[in-house]
Structure 1
Amino acid sequence: ALIEQEMSAERYIEIPEEIQDIYRIWRPTTLYRARRLEKALDTPAKIYYKYEGTSPPGSHKPNTAVAQAYYNKKEGINRITTETGAGQWGSALSFAGACFGLEIKVYMVKISYMQKPYRRIMMETWGAKCIPSPSTETQAGRDMLAKDPDCPGSLGLAISEAVEEAVGRDDTHYSLGSVLNHVLLHQTINGLEAKKIMEQIDEYPDIIIGCVGGGSNFAGLFLPFVKDKIEGRKPDLRIINVEPASCPTLTRGPYSYDYGDVAGLTPLMKMYTLGHGFIPPPVHAGGLRYHGMAPIICHLLKLGLVEARAEHQLGTFEAGVTFARNEGIISAPETNHAIRVTIDEALKCKESGESKTILLAHSGHGHVDMAAYEAYFAEKLKDYAYPQEKIEEALRDLPKV
């Protein structure tokens, strides 16, 4: 069923009742008007945010985790391996596994495993096993440790380990938390809700903003809207993808075929990429440290239908603190990237006097990311732009297609 969804040409696919039953725990999620933030910025802009932090794991990730767990269970699979960066996806699949009685094993990028121990504890509470990547349990992990014993890990490497284990066992499937078409499809429940709610209050966004790592969070919000731009009903709609300057996939990577993982076990995908061998710096926005991007987002960027922007981490934390002190929500470091650009666009409206409507994809809370905030307040964080020579080095291994 998931492969059929990946390749489907259908515009709509019905959500099974068993999935909807679990969604009802937290869905639909709320669309908020950020009135206190608007007042603090003294902007004529209207800022709305769709908040996904009310799900049990605290992010948008269960939208696809529940669906993938359901379809695997229906197929008779009782064990799933996966990767996770900051831990949102791993905890979401662990939650979904508990809902359907599945055994879950998560390879977590080592730097995040060390920075965010409570994510691991969340996974274990839901019955999953979580280990740091690179590990000694797979050939891909052992090869990397032999080359660099202190390797901080990467999403591409964690994917390789999870895929390798799944391929080696008949009772196990692999599950991916972002990038692929079916993952984006499951996430569009968020955008469909947002569009419906905005219709009910007679609003439509001029600008939609979200953070991107693999792209599923933001695509889930903007895809139901971009259709209006493609069909000419909203030609001036702006859609801004925000990524970290330390992992500038859309803003500095070439548009090329590449693997989704370090070992080259996945199919080739046409996407903006920093090279599948890319090992990102250990910044705190672990969910955004991926070398590639959802092919759907990449295609839309290539066509000029969406925009991309890269932000440094100090500015994003400053924005996150401003948001918390006005709206009350402590946001995930990933989400702070989108908040930074939302504030910047609202301030541009202040300068121009325009009253634009901004819709922010708020992907989740930062309650288990407080070590990142602690480092920010202690002035231990630094801005980091990924060196061009490092990008060129990683791109040398792009497959020749």
Structure 2
Amino acid sequence: MERTKKFMLPETAIPTQWYNIVAEMQNKPLPMINPQTNEPLKAEDLFPLFAEELARQELNDNDVWIDIPDEIREKYKIYRPTPLVRAYELEKALDTPAHIYFKNESVSPVGSHKLNSALAQAYYNKIEGVTNLTTETGAGQWGTALAFASKTFGLELAVYMVKISYEQKPYRRSLMQSWGAQVIASPSMSTKAGRKIITENPTYQGSLGTAISEAIELAMQTPNCKYALGSVLNHVALHQTVIGLEAEKQMEMADEYPDIVIGCFGGGSNFSGISFPFLRHNLKGETHTRFIAAEPSSCPKLTRGRFQYDYGDEIGYTPLIPMYTLHHNFAPANIHAGGLRYHGAGSIVSQLHKDNLVEAVDVNQLDTFKAGILFARTEGIIPAPESNHAIAVAIDEALKAKEEGVKKTILFNLSGHGLLDMSAYDQYLAGDLSNHELKDEELNKYFERES
């Protein structure tokens, strides 16, 4: 009997609307706070920093569905819909009764899911008359996505790339430059925030919080320039829901429905994208799917962080966000999953986790690469180090199903490929990678410094 490996949708099935989960949450996220006024943030407070439509999307808690402009859907056709794939060979290697599916977001031109929001953000800035954008990037996936999107819509872009990733991942830098972006290692001497950090710690290898501070500062000081963010914020999670909305239709084609949905977790963009469209059925009491966010043991904000208001960046330029956080000054270990080295979780996922509607698991670095190698050897795709976290948890859940002797349907998001991360695989295969054990005293020292 012939079996279907890939479930493909026609271009006409690209979603026409994004799904706004906040409108259907019983306990909505607490409001972001304007640190200047200590009042709840209004959309106009964000206008100096973001395109106005993006600021309105950020604070929209009424509209369940938000229309995707035709111009964005037209650009989505470059790579969307993405395939849903049944991981038959991985199932066979694990000898599990579980059915494992993955949404393959690595097929985008930039190799990751990040383009879903980058195209939207570039479009809204373009129609507002903005000419320049700034942003930050960790592993480089968001920076490459925004570089391509900026070129597509005729915008100039400056990217502050976390220094450790700038050095570890030179080809991500080359990609951004190929699409016309200027790339600066962060912390840098080009901003007041960067100079302050370098003065205090000359050997600091950077963090996403630092790079965000620098990008925001440049945006605020440059005429006709706005800032774009690749994760954490509500409007980014909104744009990513095209992943789960397509996956819903594709799971119907497979005549299955997920018992478990998994995504790796940095700030929350790809986890939100795969999860929220399915989670809406849980919120209505129609389903009982489990949702698992897979984060690094060395940067475990959901599993070991505190739920409180915190800045999204290191210096304190952003609004105060209600989030699970390790503290905005937290300096994560120099692991290879650079896109997950962020101190906080987006406010929507934070609230959902607080309400026990989503779970979180932390995974150590060696286990993630072991899972990525098994996936590569069975399914043929070299995953991004970030995606390896989701794969590791999917494998764990498939093995639990084997132990229990039950069939589970598992869906995870393959958020990107790792073809530009081969130096990390080189180190793993040579036995040169290690786990970073994060001790409680290391976590607590940042909070104690303020109390």
Question: TM-score of the superposition, structure 1-length normalised?
Answer: 0.98
Residue 178 of structure 2 corresponds to residue 142 of structure 1: no
Q: Distance in 1 between matches of 2:129 and 2:188?
A: 28
Residue 373 of structure 2 corresponds to residue 291 of structure 1: no
Deviation at 1:237, TM superposition (A): 1.1
C-alpha deviations, 1:350-391, integer Å up to 9, x for none?
111100000011101000000000000111100112222221
Q: Give 3-state SS (helix, strand or coil) of 2:106's partner.
A: coil
Partner of 1:245: 297
C-alpha deviations, 1:254-307, integer Å up to 9, x for none?
100000001110000000000001111101000000000111001000000010
Q: Give 3-state SS (helix, strand or coil) of 2:390's partner.
A: helix
Partner of 1:300: 352
Q: Distance in 2 between matches of 1:382 and 1:338?
A: 19
Q: 1:32 is matched with which residue: 72, 81, 85?
A: 85
Q: Distance in 2 between matches of 1:261 and 1:42?
A: 44
Deviation at 1:170, TM superposition (A): 2.4
Partner of 2:423: 371
Q: What are the equivalent positions in structure 2 for 1:148-227 lying under 5 Å apart?
A: 148-227=201-280
Partner of 1:45: 98
Tell me if structure 2 keeps the 8 A contact 1:186–1:220. Answer: yes
Q: 2:315 is matched with which residue: 263, 277, 280?
A: 263
Partner of 2:134: 81
Deviation at 1:11, TM superposition (A): 0.7
Q: 1:357 is matched with which residue: 403, 406, 409?
A: 409
Q: 2:180 is matched with which residue: 127, 134, 157?
A: 127
Q: 2:325 is matched with which residue: 267, 270, 273?
A: 273
Q: Distance in 2 between matches of 1:199 and 1:14?
A: 23
Partner of 1:10: 63
AA of the residue aligned to 1:27: R
Deviation at 1:397, TM superposition (A): 5.5
Q: Distance in 2 between matches of 1:334 and 1:20?
A: 27
- Once superposed, what is the RMSD of the aligned Cα atoms? 0.9
Deviation at 1:346, TM superposition (A): 0.4
Q: Distance in 2 between matches of 1:74 and 1:146?
A: 40
Q: Give 3-state SS (helix, strand or coil) of 1:293's partner.
A: coil
Q: Return 5+ residue gaps in structure 2 as ranges.
A: 1-52
C-alpha deviations, 1:154-184, integer Å up to 9, x for none?
0000000000111112211011000000000
Tell me if structure 2 keeps the 8 A contact 1:277–1:397. Answer: no
AA of the residue aligned to 1:352: E
Q: Give 3-state SS (helix, strand or coil) of 2:362's partner.
A: strand
AA of the residue aligned to 1:29: T
Partner of 2:386: 334
Partner of 2:437: 385
Q: Distance in 1 between matches of 2:88 and 2:447?
A: 45
Deviation at 1:201, TM superposition (A): 2.6
Q: Return 5+ residue gaps in structure 1 as ranges.
A: none
AA of the residue aligned to 2:404: S
Aligned length: 398
Q: Give 3-state SS (helix, strand or coil) of 2:66's partner.
A: coil
